[in-house]
């Protein structure tokens, strides 16, 4: 490619791919094309490359199979699998890329910032919640200035799911719905949380036609989901059937309505990076995460 120079390092791999899930009666069939290559670093004249451009170039260039993980194209580019190479160093901390949506990179902190109530009032309105206010004021102000400058003041889709007995695709459609089931289905902010569908799509074992409550606490769903952790955490998605409940990811892997929003549960902040954020080094692994800067 004329605009990019490839530098290939031996004995390293980046994994990308596309999975299309099909359902035939009670049998789930997955037709997949896994795309992969040795690690490819892209160098422009400035020794950097836009993150979105890098992912798209890799998607086009990689051709070989690999078992290490991949990206699916499902309402955006989404990292999926047990442990894909999606680590980034942000604010001098390890974060991970959920995916790329409308040219913006959505990332999530690798570790929790603590156990916090979703809302001090028993109402699941994200924009009016205690946690929204905390993340977008107190927590946001703890970040380095250089990190703040990378964050997009984004629109977060927070439509509610009526029941946990939904597939990932159904949950996504509910979250992005323009219905009036929740007080506000789109909320602007710098910091948020991952959604229930974000978690569902991250599983390479079953991601599209499987119910988040009924099967995600079983293998291969939870064992092939890099967002699954040994603690339970709040999600941004409210339960539209009850104005006091939001969805949680439980430590056994399933997604279900949590305790009342006044409860304290682990929180991993999520945010969108601006389109102008570039990769300057790294391979996306835990020990060599991507390092970023504004261009």
Question: What's the rounded mean pLDDT across residues 84-89?
Answer: 92
Segment of 2-16, 33-47, 128-142 carrying the highest mean pLDDT? 128-142
CA pair distance 262, 267, nearest whole angstrom? 14
Q: What is the pLDDT of residues 115-125, one digit of tens each?
A: 999 999 999 99
Q: Are residues 63 and 151 in the same domain?
A: no
Q: Are residues 65 and 116 in the same domain?
A: no
Q: Are residues 13 and 44 in the same domain?
A: yes
CA pair distance 237, 125, nearest whole angstrom? 10
Q: Are residues 119 and 259 in the same domain?
A: yes
Q: The pTM is what? A: 0.81
Model confidence at 54, pLDDT cuts 50, 70, 90, reads confident
CA pair distance 213, 175, nearest whole angstrom? 16
- Count up the domains in the chain and report the number: 2
User: Which one is predicted more confidently, 291 or 14?
Assistant: 291
pLDDT for residue 175 is more than 50: yes
278 domain-assigned = no
239 domain-assigned = yes
Q: Are residues 167 and 28 in the same domain?
A: no
Q: Are residues 91 and 116 in the same domain?
A: no
pLDDT for residue 209 is more than 90: no
Domain that holds residue 180: 108-271
Helix (H) or strand (E) holding 60: helix 51-61
Q: Are residues 89 and 177 in the same domain?
A: no
Q: What is the pLDDT of residues 181-203, one digit of tens each?
A: 555 689 999 999 999 999 999 99
Between 36-50, 64-78, 149-163, the lowest mean confidence (pLDDT) is in: 36-50
Model confidence at 135, pLDDT cuts 50, 70, 90, reads very high
**Quick one: how many helices (H) and strands (E) in the chain?**
5, 19
Q: Are residues 46 and 146 in the same domain?
A: no
Question: What's the rounded mean pLDDT across residues 233-260?
Answer: 90
């Amino acid at each position: 490619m004329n605009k990019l120079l490839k530098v290939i390092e031996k004995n390293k791999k980046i994994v990308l791919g596309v999975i299309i899930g099909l359902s035939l009666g009670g049998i789930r069939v997955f037709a997949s094309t896994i795309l992969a290559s040795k690690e490819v670093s892209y160098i422009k004249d400035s020794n950097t490359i836009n993150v979105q451009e890098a992912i798209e170039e890799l998607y086009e260039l990689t051709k070989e199979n690999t078992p290490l993980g991949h990206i699916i194209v499902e309402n955006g580019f989404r990292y999926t699998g047990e442990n894909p190479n999606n680590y980034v160093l942000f604010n001098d901390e390890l974060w991970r890329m959920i995916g790329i949506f409308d040219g913006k990179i959505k990332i999530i902190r690798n570790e929790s910032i603590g156990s916090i109530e979703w809302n001090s009032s028993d109402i699941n309105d994200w924009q009016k919640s205690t946690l929204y206010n905390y993340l977008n004021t107190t927590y946001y102000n703890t970040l380095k200035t250089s990190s703040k400058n990378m964050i997009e003041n984004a629109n977060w889709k927070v439509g509610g799911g009526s029941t946990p007995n939904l597939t990932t695709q159904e949950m996504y459609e509910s979250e992005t719905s323009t219905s009036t089931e929740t007080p506000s289905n789109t909320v602007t902010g710098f910091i948020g949380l991952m959604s229930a569908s974000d978690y569902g799509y991250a599983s390479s074992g079953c991601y599209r036609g499987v119910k988040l409550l009924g099967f995600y606490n079983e293998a291969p769903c939870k064992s092939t989901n890099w967002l699954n952790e040994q603690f339970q955490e709040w999600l941004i998605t409210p339960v539209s059937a009850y104005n006091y409940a939001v969805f949680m990811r439980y430590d056994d892997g399933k997604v279900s309505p949590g305790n009342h929003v006044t409860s304290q549960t682990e929180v991993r902040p999520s945010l969108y990076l601006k389109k102008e954020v570039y990769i300057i080094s790294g391979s996306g692994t835990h020990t060599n995460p991507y390092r970023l800067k504004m261009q």
